[in-house]
Structure 1
Amino acid sequence: MAGPTTAERGERQHLDSGPPRLTRFKRLLSPRTLIILLVCVVLLGATGAWVLYGSQWLRVERVSTSGTRVLTDEQVREAADVPVGAPLISVDTDVIEARLRQKLPRIDSVDVVRSWPDGIGLKVIERTPVLIVENSGKGGKYVEVDAKGVRFATVSRAPKGVPALNLTAAQSSSSSASLRRFGTGRLVREAVSVAGSLPAAVARRTQVVKVRSYDSISLELSGNRTVAWGSSEKGRAKARTLTALMKASPEARYFDVSVPTAPASSGS
Structure 2
Amino acid sequence: MIYFVGAGPGAPDLITVRGQKLLKEADVIIYAGSLVNKELLELAKADCQIHNSASMTLEEVIEVMKEAEKKGHMTVRLHTGDPSIYGAIREQMDLLSEEGISYEVVPGVSSFCGAAAALKAEYTLPDVSQTVIITRMAGRTPVPEKEEISLLASHQATMAVFLSAGLLEPLRERLLIGGYKEETPAAIVYKATWPEEQVFYGTVATLPEIAKEVGITKTALILVGDFLGDAYERSRLYDPAFTHQFREAKE
Q: Which has the larger radius of gyration?
A: 1
Q: What TM-score comes out, normalization by structure 1 length?
A: 0.23
Higher fraction of helix: 1
State the structure with bigger RCO (CA 8 A, min sep 6), 1 or 2.
2
Higher fraction of strand: 1
